[in-house]
Copies of this chain bind each other. A is one copy, B any other.
C-alpha cells in the first residue's frame, strides 16, 4: 500500500466542500496577506466552487472579484447562484460571507463553450530568458508570497530605494511559478493574475497601505488548451497607468513559455500615500 500524496498547499487553500447553492471554504495561513487571505486564492476558491458545481458547463472566460471587506481567519460560506444560462454561456454570481455578516467578497463569472473559431494573437510575448536562468526573488515576510517563485526579468521591487523624488517605473516582467511546482490550471492561473506586488510599491519604492478593490481576469484559452501546454510557470507583465486620489489601476498579461497569451488581467486598488 502506498500513502496518498500530500495535496499541494494551493489545493488545500482553495478546497471547498460541496453544496448546492451554498458551499464552504476556509482561509489558509499559507496564503495570508496584510489583513486577510491573498486575493488570488480567494478568487481561485470562488472559481473552484463553480468548476466543481454540478450545473457548470463550458470553460471559465471572465471572472470579476470585488473585495468588499477583509475575510477573517477561519471558515466562510460561498453563496453560489447561476443567474442566467443559455446554450453557449453561463453567468454566475458568488457571495462569500462569514457568519451573519455582510458579504466580504462579491464575484461574477462567465463560463462559455469555447468553440473553434478564427484565431489571431496580435499581442507579442515579451522577451525573457528562460525560467531556469533567472534568479528567484528573495522571500518576503508575507506568507502568500512564499508560496510563489517570482523571477524578475525587469522591474524588481526596489523597496526603500527612495520614497521621494521622481517616481520609479511601475512596470514589471517576471516568471511566476508555484513554489512547489504544480501543473498550471485555470485556478492557479487566476490566482497568479493577482500575484503582482502593488504597483504603488514599485512606483514609490516603499511599502504603503494597499489593497485590491476589484480584480477582473479574462482567460483566453480553453481548459483543454491550457492542460495541453503542460506548464508550471508563466511569464507575467504588470504595469499601472495612473495613481490618483487613493486608487491605482493595474493591467497585466500572463503568457505560456511557448508564447501563448493565456490570460489578461486588470485591477483597481486602494493605496495610502
Given known A-B contacts A83-B68, A83-B102, A213 and B266 have beta carbons under 8 A apart: no
- Measured in the bound complex, the distance between the Cα atoms of B264 and A247 in whole Å is 13
Residue A23 at the B interface, CB < 8 A? no
Residues of the B chain whose Cβ atoms lie less than 8 Å from the Cβ of A69: 84, 86
Residue A80 at the B interface, CB < 8 A? no
- Measured in the bound complex, the distance between the Cα atoms of B118 and A170 in whole Å is 14
How many A residues touch B, CB cutoff 8 Å? 65
Residue A261 at the B interface, CB < 8 A? yes
Residue A2 at the B interface, CB < 8 A? no
- In the complex, which residues 213-249 of chain A have their Cβ closer than 8 Å to any Cβ of chain B? 213-214, 216, 218, 220-222, 225, 239-247, 249
Q: How many copies does the complex hold?
A: 2
A244 lies within 8 A of B122 (CB): no
- Measured in the bound complex, the distance between the Cα atoms of B272 and A117 in whole Å is 7
A83 lies within 8 A of B103 (CB): yes
The residue from B113, B246, B266 contacting A266, defined by CB atoms under 8 A apart: B266
B242 lies within 8 A of A123 (CB): yes
- Measured in the bound complex, the distance between the Cα atoms of B241 and A119 in whole Å is 11
Chain B CB within 10 Å — which of A93, A95, A268 has the most?
Answer: A268
- Measured in the bound complex, the distance between the Cα atoms of B112 and A82 in whole Å is 28
Given known A-B contacts A214-B62, A218-B266, A241-B261, A247 and B93 have beta carbons under 8 A apart: no
**A61-B268, A114-B247, A214-B218 are known contacts; what are 8 more A-B pairs with Cβ within 8 Å?**
A68-B89, A83-B95, A84-B103, A91-B106, A112-B270, A118-B273, A218-B266, A222-B245
